[in-house]
Amino acid sequence: MHDHDQWLDIDVVIDTDAYSLRHTREELKEMLQDLVITEADANSLSEDVTPHTHGISTSSEEEEEVPAKVPRLLAKYSRHRHRSGGPSQEDTTRRQLVKYLQVVSESQSILSALQFWQDMAKKLPTLYKLACKVLSVPASSAPVERISSRGGIIMRPHRARLSAEMLFILMFLKCNEDIL
């Protein structure tokens, strides 16, 4: 069963009693937390392989520096020691997610998302990297054009009575079907 099938089954499974609703909310919360942790860990691993400067310019002298060679005999040992030296990446990300949820629930002031993540960059580094990826503006208009194209496919002449709200819902579902 695919993950998106579970989302479709939620509506069928929900009874009107409070226990079912609370249980469904808890399942949804756990699914979303697992998704955030998975994405943050994948993003963190990909940035470890290909680091970038997040808009900080480097001089040509820094780019020309060659890292010191590590003897091949000890290369795997140092990687293993680095990995096993502390808590796993998933545990660290999970702790950061719990801390994030606490900060958000305790916060009285409303900051912009960019200001919030700038302030939390040092406290929540793994989630900060994920937020930078999610909140970044794409450099091209191709994604917007794809969405407009999908809207044109959905809004055909034989669907002239389709309300703006229903079109929005259908577009949202269509554009996020890989997540759902």
Looking at the structure, do residues 14 and 101 belong to the same domain, yes or no?
A: yes
Q: pLDDT per position in the chain (180 positions), as tens?
A: 455 455 445 554 545 566 677 778 788 888 888 888 888 888 777 765 444 444 444 444 444 556 666 556 656 665 655 555 556 666 788 899 889 988 888 887 777 888 889 988 999 999 999 888 888 887 888 878 888 888 888 888 888 788 889 888 988 888 888 877
Q: Are 56 and 49 in contact (CB under 8 A)?
A: no
* DSSP output for 59-125: -HHHHHPPPPP--HHHHHHHHHHHHHTSS-HHHHHHHHHHHHHHHHHH--S---HHHHHHHTTTTSH
> Is 70 part of any domain?
no
Look up the pTM and report it. Answer: 0.46
> Is 32 part of any domain?
yes
Looking at the structure, do residues 3 and 45 belong to the same domain, yes or no?
A: yes
Which pair of tokens denotes residue 118? 């700038």
Which pair of tokens denotes residue 165? 């709200």
Interhelix angle for 3-13 vs 18-49, to 10°? 160
> Is 113 part of any domain?
yes
Looking at the structure, do residues 7 and 39 belong to the same domain, yes or no?
A: yes
Looking at the structure, do residues 129 and 162 belong to the same domain, yes or no?
A: no
Burial of 40 (0-12, 13-18, 19+ CB in 10 A): buried
> Is 123 part of any domain?
yes
Domain enclosing residue 144, as ranges = 140-180
Looking at the structure, do residues 126 and 152 belong to the same domain, yes or no?
A: no
Looking at the structure, do residues 125 and 160 belong to the same domain, yes or no?
A: no
> Is 164 part of any domain?
yes
In whole angstroms, what is the distance from residue 37 CA to residue 41 CA? Answer: 6
Domain count, the chain: 2
